[in-house]
Amino acid sequence: MKNPLQTFGFQVLTSSKTGEPALPRLSRRGFIALSASLGSSCSMISSAKPDAGADDLATVDPASAPARTTANTTYRTPKVQGPVPRNPDLNLPSSGASSGITFSRVSVAQPYIAITFDDGPHPKNTPRLLDMLRERNIKATFYVIGRNVDLYPNVLRRTVSEGHEIGNHTYNHPILSKLGDSTVRDELTKCRDAVARAAGVKPRTLRPPYGALLQRQREWIHRELEYPTIMWSVDPLDWKRPGASVVTSRILSNTTPGAIVLAHDLHASTVDAMPATLDGLLRKGFKFVTVSQLLAMGSQTAPGQVASGQ
């Protein structure tokens, strides 16, 4: 039977010891890519359920994967494929104003939006996305998983050096609402420390994996760690891999001024959707800012509140 891991395109190694069941083993790189693929989508608890056959992964210990510290030397920036729309230069403040605990969108006077990418950094998809953003002068916000930061610190460094904002998405991507306060605190501080180690910056906001965070937790985290909890107002459900054109059309049809758009840079199909998505949003007149810039210019809107329209 074909090992389900192979459906993801990973090489599967098996134990050669006689008399033992053949336990599936992955290269370290394969394990990380697979674990990110299986359990990282932010928008639905149900997405935490791995695909069929992933029980085999129980034999792979995440703690045994050593941190990668070498450079991404194989990646080459592709040439720009012709003229693309450009986001205007926006030298806006990223601090001050709002003191809210949770945001899913922001009330703004102009068509500012923030696009966010969760679950990276990814060694291939994130650099590809960074090229697309750079071509268009767009600054995005990346809610990174600390574990992936430790594996690909150079991708994070490039992300920071190109002006993007980094947000905290925990170290191991657990369901925080099911965890005790000390474990939650560890998840957030470990991610924060990984980001600081890799790129010398600290996350300023939090996005809970799967959006799962109790109000009581949001309050103590805001009080203690000074993170506002950032949800979203546009969710293309890209983690279900509906195809690039569907991701694009969902984002284009649902984005309004002040929107916070959710996407995942670990999925190749999401990144495939970005040229048309970003160009479409720019042609509609939207201006991209980071989450902190968006918060600084607006007043709080409660999660789930319907956008007031343009």
Nearer Cβ to Ni ion (118/272): 118
∠197-193-131 over CA atoms, to 5°?
60
Stretch of residues binding Ni ion (CB under 5 A), selected from 48-56, 118-126, 129-137, 194-202: 118-126
State how far the Cα of 163 lies from the Cα of 138, in Å rounded to an integer: 9
Q: How much is the CA Rg of the chain, to the nearest whole Å?
A: 19
Q: Which amino acid is at 28?
A: R
42 in contact with Ni ion (CB under 5 A): yes
Residue 264 is a catalytic residue: yes
Among 119, 135, 150, 238, binds Ni ion (CB under 5 A): 119
State how far the Cα of 134 lies from the Cα of 278, in Å rounded to an integer: 11
Among residues 122, 264, 267, 272, which one is catalytic? 264
265 in contact with Ni ion (CB under 5 A): no
Give the distance, in angstroms, between the CA of residue 218 and the centroid of all CA atoms in the same chain. 19
State how far the Cα of 274 lies from the Cα of 156, in Å rounded to an integer: 19
State how far the Cα of 93 lies from the Cα of 79, in Å rounded to an integer: 32
Stretch of residues binding Ni ion (CB under 5 A), selected from 133-141, 197-205, 208-216, 229-237: 208-216
Residue nearest to Ni ion (CB): 42
118 in contact with Ni ion (CB under 5 A): yes
Neighbours of 87 (CB within 10 A): 17
Nearer Cβ to Ni ion (136/192): 192
238 in contact with Ni ion (CB under 5 A): no
Q: Which amino acid is at 109?
A: A
* 3-state SS, residue 291: helix
208 in contact with Ni ion (CB under 5 A): no
Helices and strands counted in the chain (H then E): 9, 11
209 in contact with Ni ion (CB under 5 A): yes
Nearer Cβ to Ni ion (119/235): 119
Strands 141-144 and 112-118 come out as parallel
Nearer Cβ to Ni ion (42/130): 42
Tokens matching residue 180: 């005790």
Give the distance, in angstroms, between the CA of residue 31 and the centroid of all CA atoms in the same chain. 18
Least separation in angstroms between CB 41 and Ni ion: 6
153 in contact with Ni ion (CB under 5 A): no
Among residues 118, 119, 150, 272, which one is catalytic? 118
Nearer Cβ to Ni ion (38/201): 38
Interface with Ni ion: number of residues (CB under 5 A):
5
Stretch of residues binding Ni ion (CB under 5 A), selected from 28-36, 53-61, 79-87, 113-121: 113-121
The residues of the shown chain that bind Ni ion, judged by CB under 5 A, are 40, 42, 118-119, 209
- Residues known to be catalytic: 118, 264
